Amino acid sequence: MPENFGWIHHYEAGSGDLTLLLLHGTGGNETSLLQIGRDVAPTANLLSVRGRSLDEGSPRFFRRFTDIRYDQEHLKSEAAALADFVKQAAAHYGFDASKVVALGYSNGANIAIASLIRHPDVLAGGVLWRPVMPLEHPDPVSLQGKPLLVTLGAMDHYRKHADDLLSYLKDNASDAQIEEIPTGHQLTRNDLILTQSWLRQHFPG
Considering the candidates 24, 48, 156, 191, report the single residue annotated as catalytic.
156
- The Cα–Cα gap between 124 and 145 comes to 8
For residue 106, report the phi and psi dihedrals to the nearest 5 degrees: 55, -115
For residue 104, is it left (φ>0), alpha (ψ between -120 and 50) or beta?
Answer: beta
Considering the candidates 106, 115, 191, 202, report the single residue annotated as catalytic.
106
Active site residue 171: no
For residue 70, report the phi and psi dihedrals to the nearest 5 degrees: -115, 155
Active site residue 24: no
Active site residue 10: no
Considering the candidates 74, 119, 161, 185, report the single residue annotated as catalytic.
185
Which residues are the active-site residues? 106, 156, 185
